[in-house]
Amino acid sequence: MISGFWEKLNKPIMALAPMANVTDAAFRFVIAKYGKPDVMWTEFVSADGLNSAGREALLLDLKFDESERPIVAQFFGATPEHFYRVALLVQELGLNGIDINMGCPDRAVLKQGAGAALLEEPELAKKIISETKRGAGSLPVSVKTRLGLKKNILKSWLPHLLEMDLAAITVHGRTAKELSLVPADWKAIGEAVVMRDRYEASSTSRTLILGNGDVKNLADAGTKAKEYGLDGVMVGRGIFGNPWFFADLSRVKRGGQIEHPDGARAEEGLTNTRGKLKVMLEHTRIFEKMFGERKNFDVMKKHYKVYVNGFPGAKELRMELMGAKDADEVEKILKRRDF
């Protein structure tokens, strides 16, 4: 059932994927400023952890700014009652939706019976969804999943999700075993749309289908949405080092052509080396302001690897930035290298 903010979004819907130690509040704040997508996800957060003594530390991962709305909180776990409680928490915190991770391939997550492990436990998965919806009130509940754990089982798996009358399902075009080592199978993602349409022909349900995997740029996202009949596309790694990825969003929705695949900010010179490094420093200061010592500064260095790339001296600059301890030191390094 399309509900909440989902029903107000124009298609194709463009979403920012949840990525651990990447899509924190500082990163999303920068994205919202330079090229806001239709909807954003938080990093995924442990439902079990939020029901433990470690709750306070994890609440930091649910921090958000008003500029990010609509913002969806994503959780992983394998204990249904914990999802009921975190859904109540999301209502209290004021986020716009709840997403359940049923696709993470990380071994530590799989050992908990969570993430992609739920693809082989459909009854447990449905119980988790049911409990999440019970605690969510009027908030829409969605699921992000994969084609399967070790092999493509979408034909047998997706009907279980459609049965739960979710607001949206995002399908990543690989199995968990494949990680990101093979190209995403967009034909398989397109089959999810066909299955949804068949299911809806005999049901009052209406669930949006989004695709995810190997999206190069916004033009590519628009092409994939149209070719496979998707309601939207979720972008993950394609946005690394490119906060203006979604800057041409309105043009894509009108069906227009994009002359600059890197986004509208290319026209303003922001995607040149100095522009990227300027945004990188801004991102660093926002991270420091938001999190202070509550988050390890080294988290920012994952971003430096992609901001600082593709120009003479990039390798040397990256190596120097890896030793930085705070935003002031980053600024000094850039000035010393005349950036």
Q: Which residues are catalytic?
A: 104
Backbone angles phi, psi at 73, to 5 degrees: -90, 130
Per DSSP, the three-state class of 210 is strand
Write 265-273 long-range contacts (CB < 8 A, 24+): 265/34, 265/35, 270/34, 270/244, 271/242, 271/244, 273/311, 273/339
Instruction: Sort 110 into a burial class: Cβ within 10 Å, 0-12 / 13-18 / 19+.
Output: middle
- What is the CA angle 16-32-172, rounded to 5? 0
DSSP assignment letter at 12: S
Number of helices (H), then strands (E), in the chain: 14, 8
Residue 292, Ramachandran bin (φ over 0: left; ψ between -120 and 50: alpha; else beta):
left
- Spatial neighbors of 304 by CB under 8 A, at least 6 apart, are 280, 318, 321, 322
Distance CA 135, CA 323 (A): 45
